[in-house]
């Protein structure tokens, strides 16, 4: 479960919301995906839903390329946030139906989120959105608005 007192705002496009709601509901029936599905459902319940055109370029959307940090290990990673059927086990693709994927969806650059796992607390910081399909390419040296 995500730690309630430290929840950053979440923004999701209407198109992503519809498909993600279906994925979260379906995932509740699968014991392998139940925890991530519950996290995703929790994020969707508190999300601000907007049109695709209204999504800021600094928001993590589906198919966005993200740079994020594990705040426990300080490892920095780049990956694309994808739907479960698109993950293909590739290390640079993170399914939204995983705890990390559910935590990242809808965050803005430089926001952090913390949640409890069976092994303790996890915390991630979305450092920046490198590419977002609803926005445009953001060069690494440019400031994200």
pLDDT tens digits for range 65-85:
999 999 999 999 999 999 999
pLDDT tens digits for range 25-53:
888 777 677 888 999 999 999 999 999 88
Q: Is the pLDDT of residue 4 over 70?
A: no
Whole-angstrom distance, CA of residue 45 vs CA of residue 109: 21
Question: What residues contact 7, with CB distance under 8 A and at least 6 apart?
Answer: 46, 113
Distance of CA 10 to the CA centre of its chain: 9
The conformation of residue 40, written as its DSSP 8-state character, comes to H
- What's the confidence (pLDDT) of residue 136? 47
**CB of 52 closer than 8 Å to CB of 13:** yes
pLDDT tens digits for range 106-131:
999 999 999 887 788 889 999 999 99
- What's the confidence (pLDDT) of residue 135? 56
**Residue-range domains of the chain with CATH:** 4-131 (3.10.50.30)
Provide the whole-model pTM. Answer: 0.84
Whole-angstrom distance, CA of residue 39 vs CA of residue 42: 5
Paired tokens of 133: 């399909």
């Amino acid at each position: 479960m995500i730690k309630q007192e430290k929840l950053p705002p979440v923004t999701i496009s209407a198109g992503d919301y519809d498909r993600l709601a279906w994925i979260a509901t379906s995932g509740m029936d699968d014991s392998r995906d139940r925890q991530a599905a519950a996290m995703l459902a929790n994020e969707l319940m508190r999300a601000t839903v907007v049109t695709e055109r209204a999504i800021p370029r600094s928001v993590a959307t589906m198919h966005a390329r993200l740079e994020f940090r594990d705040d426990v290990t300080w490892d920095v990673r780049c990956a694309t946030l994808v739907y479960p059927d698109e993950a293909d086990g590739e290390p640079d693709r993170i399914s939204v139906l995983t705890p990390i994927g559910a935590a990242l969806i809808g965050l803005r650059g430089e926001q952090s989120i913390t949640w409890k796992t069976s092994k303790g607390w996890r915390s991630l910081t979305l450092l920046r959105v490198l590419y977002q399909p609803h926005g445009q390419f953001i060069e690494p040296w440019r400031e994200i608005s």
